[in-house]
Chains A and B, each alone.
Chain A
Amino acid sequence: MTSEVLADLRIATVPDRSVRDFSSYKEKMRVTDLDAGFGKKKILEDISISFKENTVTALIGPSGCGKSTFIRCLNRMHEVTHGAWINGHIMLDGDDILAPSMDPVTVRRRIGMVFQKPNPFPTMSIYDNVAAGLRLNGVRDKKVISAAVEDTLKKSFLWDEIGDRMHESGASISGGQQQRLCIARTLAVQPEVVLMDEPCSALDPIATAKIEELITQLKATYTVIVVTHNMQQAARISDFTGFLYLGRLIEVGPTTEIFQNPKNELTERYISGKFG
C-alpha cells in the first residue's frame, strides 16, 4: 500500500495526539495575577495561566478549590453574583476583558459557556434553542439562522439523531442529547473560546463518551477549557491540565506530563487519589 493511500485512510480532522510540541500554538487567553472572591472571602489567589488556541485545557482539583469560580471569571459570569469581586488581568487576543470599557455581553459572545446540568430552554423547540443566541445577537435572516442551526447541530453530532425533530421541545430529548444541544446553542453564536463546567457530571457513560469525542473535535475550531472532577476524563480529552487547590493554581502543564510525571507532590497525591 502506498503512503498516499495510507494518508487518505487517515482521519485528520484534529491534530495528531502524539504531537506534544505546542510551542507553535498561538496564545488565545492569558490570565495574570488573578484574585477573586465573594465579600470578604477570597476564593482564588494569584492565578496566572495561559491558554493556547485550538487546545483543550482541563482544570482539576478537589471540591471547593475554586475551579468553577475560576472558569466563571473567564467570561465575566462571576461578577453577576451578588458580592462577587475580581482583580487581575484576563487577556483575550490581547484585549483585557476585565477592562471597564469592555462590554460583558460581547465577552460572553466571544467566550461561550456550557454548564454542569443540561439547561435547554424547556418551552422552546430544539430549533429555537439553538437559534436563541443568534436572535439575541440581532440575526433576523431565517436562511442564515437555519443554516447556523443545521451547522452547529452537525458540529455537536446531533443532526443525525434529532435533525427530523426540530420542532419538538428541547426538554423532550435525552440528557446527553440535551447537553449536546446546549453545546450547539453555545456554538451557534460563533464563540472563540468554549468554557465547560463539568459538562458530563450528570450524564451516563455512553453520553459522556459522545461529549468527550465532541470536545476533542471542537478544538480544531475553538479553544476549549473544561472543569472536571473526573481525572481520567481530563487525561483522555485534554492537551493541558491545571491543578487547583485551595484557590491556588498548584501546577499546570501538558497533560501527559501532569499524569505521568507531575512536578508537585500535591498534584501527585491528588491525581493518585491519595486525597481530595
Chain B
Amino acid sequence: MDMGEERLSNAIGDMATLAQDSVVKAIEAYEQGQRVTDAAKKRADELSNLSAEVEELCVDLLARYQPVATDLRFIKSCLEISYGFNRFGRYAYDIAQVLELYGDLSDCDKTEVHEISEKVIKMIERSIQSFKTRDTELARSLRKDDDEVDRTYLKYAAAVAKDKATTVRCALASTLVLRYLERIADHACYIGDSVAYIITGTKM
C-alpha cells in the first residue's frame, strides 16, 4: 500500500508540474501575442493521459488493498486533485485558442488579465505546495483568494459591457480569458479542499 501511495503521489506531482507549466505558458503567450495552440493541446492531452493513469492506479489500490481511514481519503482526494490538474490543462488550451479565434490582440488592454493571472498562478503554486507539505492552513486559504478572483471577474464582465472605448473583439477576448482564469482558480480551490480532507477528514 505504501509503495502504491508513493507512486500515486509521484504521478500527482508530475501532473502538478505539467499543469502549472501549461497555464503559465498559455498566459505568457496570450500577453505576448504568440500562437501556441498546438503546444497547449499537446500538454492538455498529456495531462488527460496522466489523469487516466492516476485513475487506474487509484482503482488498482482500492481493489487490492481496500484502504480505509487516511489511506482511503488520500486516494479519493488524488482522484479529485488529478481531475483539477486535468482541467488546468484544458483551460490553458482554451486560453491559447482565444488568439486563434480573434487574431491579433496587440491593441487590447491586457492589464486585468495580467493582474488576475498573477493571482491565479500563485493560487496554483499554493495548491501544489499544500499537497506536497499536507498544509491544511495553506489549503484552506485558497478559498479567500478564489472569492477575490470571482469578484474581480464579475466586476470586469459587468463594466466592459458598458465601456464604449473597448472594442467588441478586445472585450470578448479579455472576458473569455478572465473566465478561464476564474475557473482555474475554482479548481485550485477544490484541490485545496481535497488536501484539507486528506488531513482532517472533514469536507468543506
Contacts and interface: CB of A to CB of B under 8 A. Distances in A.
B73 interface: yes
A212 interface: no
B69 A260 contact: yes
B73 A272 contact: no
Contacts of B1: 272-273
Contacts of A232: 66
A259 interface: yes
A261 B66 contact: no
Given A232-B66, A273-B1, A260 B71 contact: no
A259 B70 contact: no
Interface string A79-110: 00000000000000000000000000000000
A268 B66 contact: no
B98 interface: no
Interface residues of A, number: 12
Nearest to B201: A261
B69 A272 contact: yes
B68 interface: yes
Interface in B162-204: 201-202
A260 B66 contact: no
B103 interface: no
A272 B70 contact: yes
A271 B67 CA distance: 9
A175 interface: no
Contacts of A231: 66, 68
Nearest to B69: A268
B61 interface: no
B73 A261 contact: yes
Interface string B111-139: 00000000000000000000000000000
Interface string A252-276: 0000000111100001100111000
B72 interface: yes
Interface of A: 231-232, 235, 259-262, 267-268, 271-273
14 contacts: A231-B66, A235-B66, A235-B68, A260-B69, A260-B72, A260-B73, A268-B69, A268-B70, A271-B68, A271-B69, A272-B1, A272-B67, A272-B71, A273-B1
